[in-house]
Each structure stands twice: as structure tokens, then as C-alpha cells.
């Protein structure tokens, strides 16, 4: 009898969670990446697992808002340095990562 109750409770919980998660959708008014500082922090968080801590040597990162909805963030490189820079594009309204690359 107790096994059936646990199964029922688990099924009820999963159904409730699924219903809740599928009915709540972000509105167009919310901007998850509202400014340059946030865009740069998100970019660093994404780039470190991909390129390692060495990517932080490409600071300072600059962020530009393109067409009011996409953050274009890129690293910098000194004139006497060899190599490329990391580039990442993040959608402002929902923080979707659109592009990650590193130039040569």
C-alpha cells in the first residue's frame, strides 16, 4: 500500500512540475542581459570552460549592443602580442548564446 502512495505522490509531483515549467514563459519586457557589465560577466563565464583561464589574459573585454538585441563581446590584444581574441554573441532578452569563436 505504501509503495502505491509513493508512486502516486511522485507522479503528482512530476506532473505539477512539468505543467508549471511549460506554462511560464518569459515576456518580451524582461532583459536578462541588461547592460555591458552583465554581458561581459556572462561572456567570461562561458569562455573559461571552453578556452581555460588563459582567456582572461585577453582582458579588457568590450561589449557592444547590436540592433538593440544582441550583445557582441570581444577580448583585446596588445600590439606586440601574437594570437587572436575571443568573440561571443549573447541575445539580450533571454541570454541565449548565439556565437562563440576565437580568432587566430
Could you read off the pLDDT of 27-42 as tens digits, one per residue?
656 789 999 999 999 9
Report the 10 Å Cβ neighbour count for 40: 21
pLDDT of residue 34: 93
User: Does the pLDDT value for residue 15 go beyond 70?
Assistant: no
Could you tell me the CA-to-CA distances from 84 to 4, 76, 78 in Å, in that order? 60, 8, 10
> Does the pLDDT at position 4 exceed 60?
no
Distance CA 32, CA 44 (A): 16
**Residues, the chain, total?**
104
Digit-coded pLDDT (tens) for 46-99: 999 999 999 999 999 999 999 999 999 999 998 888 889 999 999 999 999 999
Tell me the pTM.
Answer: 0.71
Q: What is the pLDDT of residue 18?
A: 55
Angle at 41 between CA 40 and CA 47, to 5 degrees: 85
Taking 80 as the threshold, does the pLDDT of residue 12 lie above it? no
d(CA 98, CA 69): 12
8-state DSSP, 92:
T
What are 85's three cell numbers?
581574441
Amino acid at each position: 500500500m505504501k509503495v502505491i502512495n509513493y508512486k502516486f505522490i511522485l507522479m503528482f509531483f512530476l506532473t505539477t512540475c512539468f505543467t508549471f515549467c511549460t506554462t511560464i514563459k518569459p515576456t518580451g519586457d524582461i532583459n536578462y542581459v541588461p547592460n555591458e557589465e552583465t554581458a561581459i560577466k556572462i561572456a567570461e563565464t562561458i569562455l573559461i570552460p571552453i578556452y581555460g583561464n588563459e582567456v582572461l589574459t585577453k582582458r579588457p573585454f568590450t561589449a557592444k549592443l547590436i540592433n538593440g538585441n544582441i550583445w557582441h563581446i570581444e577580448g583585446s590584444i596588445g600590439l606586440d602580442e601574437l594570437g587572436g581574441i575571443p568573440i561571443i554573441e549573447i541575445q539580450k532578452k533571454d541570454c541565449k548564446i548565439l556565437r562563440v569563436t576565437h580568432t587566430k
